Structures are given as structure tokens and as C-alpha cells.
């Protein structure tokens, strides 16, 4: 299943807050037809209720997402901000993660969500891969690094 697209990869983005990062990606998704108007608000609201910041490999990561109501087509974005962006730690109300890699999930098919989340957990636990994604500034290479997310389960 195709979920990786060059046009959804962004490097050195000047965003200061988690909401700005979410809205930046939502605008890309909207412009490219992946989601409908209002999607950004849904992700922002969900992030307030269920935060998505994680510490992996010593690097902060965030995986913002929401329900598929306004999703036209599944995708994964990659956003590397100029400076780390604060996201609340998953499951916390007062611990912050300085996210250096933000990987919004755009899920349309609830059936595929569990498989994709398992693969995302594998990604988060792979120190070298997260570091390489963080340092990469080549969209084709970033797609290669994440290609396992599209691989079908065997």
C-alpha cells in the first residue's frame, strides 16, 4: 500500500509549536488532496487529548494523527523542523518532548492502522534509522529509509 510521497517530506521547516507543525503538514495534505478542510483542527484537538510525543534514540519524535473522517487517501508525512518543537509526551500531562522528527500519520483504513502502528513502533525503536532520517536532506533517500512502512505483511 502506497503511503509515502515526496511532496509530503519537509526539511528545516520554521515552526515553533506543535500546533504550527500540525497545521503545516495539514496544509500540505489539503493542497495535495489527501485530506478535506477541517482536518488540521481535528489533529490539533486530538493532540490536546492524546499527546503523541516520544523519546526514541535520544531524539524526540512526534506522531500526530486523528480519526479518518476527513481523510481521502492514506499517507505519512515527514517534517524535520529547523529547531526542535515541544510536544507533550505520550500519556503525560506535564512532560515535554523536544521533537526533532515529526511523522504525522494520515490513516483512512482502520484495518491497516494496527499494522502501520506496529511498523511505526519498530521505526521509533531503531536509533540508527531515526538518526539517518533526521540528518537526511534528500527526499528520495528519505523515501528509501521509510520504504519498509509500505511493505506488505508476509
By DSSP bridging, strand 96-102 and strand 85-88 are: antiparallel
For residue 127, give every residue at least 6 positions away whose Cβ sits within 8 Å of its Cβ, in sequence order, or none. Answer: 56, 57, 58
Measured in whole angstroms, the distance separating CA 140 from the mean position of its chain's CA atoms is 17
Q: Which domains occur in the chain, in start order?
A: 4-140 (3.40.930.10)
> Which tens digit of pLDDT belongs to each residue from 110-150?
777 778 888 988 999 998 999 999 999 999 999 999 999 99
> Which tens digit of pLDDT belongs to each residue from 3-43?
999 999 999 999 999 999 999 999 999 999 999 999 999 99
Amino acid at each position: 500500500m502506497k503511503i509515502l510521497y515526496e511532496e509530503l517530506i519537509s526539511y528545516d521547516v520554521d515552526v515553533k509549536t506543535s500546533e504550527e507543525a500540525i497545521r503545516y503538514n495539514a496544509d500540505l495534505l489539503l493542497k495535495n488532496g489527501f485530506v478535506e478542510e477541517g482536518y488540521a483542527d481535528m489533529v490539533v484537538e486530538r493532540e490536546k487529548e492524546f499527546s503523541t510525543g516520544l523519546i526514541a534514540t535520544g531524539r524526540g519524535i512526534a506522531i500526530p494523527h486523528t480519526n479518518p473522517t476527513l481523510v481521502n487517501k492514506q499517507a505519512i508525512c515527514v517534517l524535520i523542523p529547523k529547531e526542535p518543537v515541544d510536544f507533550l509526551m505520550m500519556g503525560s500531562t506535564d512532560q515535554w518532548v523536544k521533537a526533532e522528527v515529526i511523522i504525522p500519520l494520515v490513516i483512512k483504513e482502520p484495518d491497516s492502522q494496527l499494522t502501520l502502528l506496529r511498523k511505526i513502533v519498530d521505526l521509533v525503536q531503531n536509533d540508527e534509522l531515526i538518526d539517518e532520517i533526521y540528518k537526511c536532506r534528500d527526499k528520495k533517500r528519505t523515501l528509501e529509509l521509510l520504504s519498509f512502512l509500505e511493505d506488505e505483511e508476509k
